[in-house]
Amino acid sequence: MQPTNALLALRLPLAQQLAIGQTLPFRYRRDGFVEQGFVLRRSDGFVAFANRCPHWNVDLDLGDERFYDPRVDRILCMNHGATFLPVDGTCDAGPCRGKQLERFVVTSVGGSLIVQIPDAEPV
């Protein structure tokens, strides 16, 4: 299936209620498959990433929706222990060192977060 070249603006009204360090998963469709991403609230705002490790192209969380460890201030890949900087998704330890998680643009509009996901459609 060819990319849609569409930019999905996914509204997440509950994300504004997240405490610092909490995440909220979301789903979208890309290339005919349902994919998952997540929003992480940081002290300086929100970041959003695809739930895909750049090492093996597998889910970071092994399905339990735990993406972030506040004790080390890192996003984790539970599959092989890689860690990612939450500010930009760069892997700083593990087999994918130097690679990045796919990051999505996040904006706040009227009390909701809008996550912009390229080449995606709503589920």
Distance CA 109, CA 82 (A): 33
Distance CA 50, CA 28 (A): 10
Whole-structure pTM value: 0.93
Position 87 scores a pLDDT of: 96
Q: Domain residues of the chain, as ranges? A: 7-117
CATH number of 7-117: 2.102.10.10
Residue 37 contacts residue 75 (beta carbons within 8 Å): no
123 residues of the chain, pLDDT tens digit each: 444 578 999 999 989 999 999 999 999 999 999 999 999 999 999 999 999 999 888 999 988 999 999 999 999 999 989 999 999 999 999 999 999 999 999 999 988 999 999 999 999
Distance CA 90, CA 99 (A): 6
Position 4 scores a pLDDT of: 52
